[in-house]
Amino acid sequence: MTEIELEAGVAPKTYLWWAVAATALCFFPFGIVALVFAIRTLSALDRGDVPAAEKSSARARRWLKITIIVGLVINGLLLVIFGFMGAFST
């Protein structure tokens, strides 16, 4: 166990890999924001600032959810629009 885990119980999640995947697969602009907060969580954990890490982790999770929702909505709308335009007809 690291020193941070011993002091505060369990270190907050960084959501870094989730943010990377959401940035690549869903909606790039909001994914970058989630990525920034995930990296801030790592930085705060390295400094030993657990309250700041928890705050950044919560923000990363919030932006991650926003990224996934917006990405699904935009991709769904594009699918419907292209479907009406006849892009999928044979």
Which pLDDT band, with edges at 50, 70 and 90, does 86 fall under?
confident
Q: How many helices, marked H, and strands, marked E, lie in the chain? A: 4, 0
pTM over 0.75: yes
Please state the domain extents for the chain.
Answer: 3-84
Percentage of the residues of the chain whose pLDDT score is greater than 90: 78
Q: Comparing C-alpha atoms, which of 69, 70, 49, 43 is closest to residue 14?
A: 43
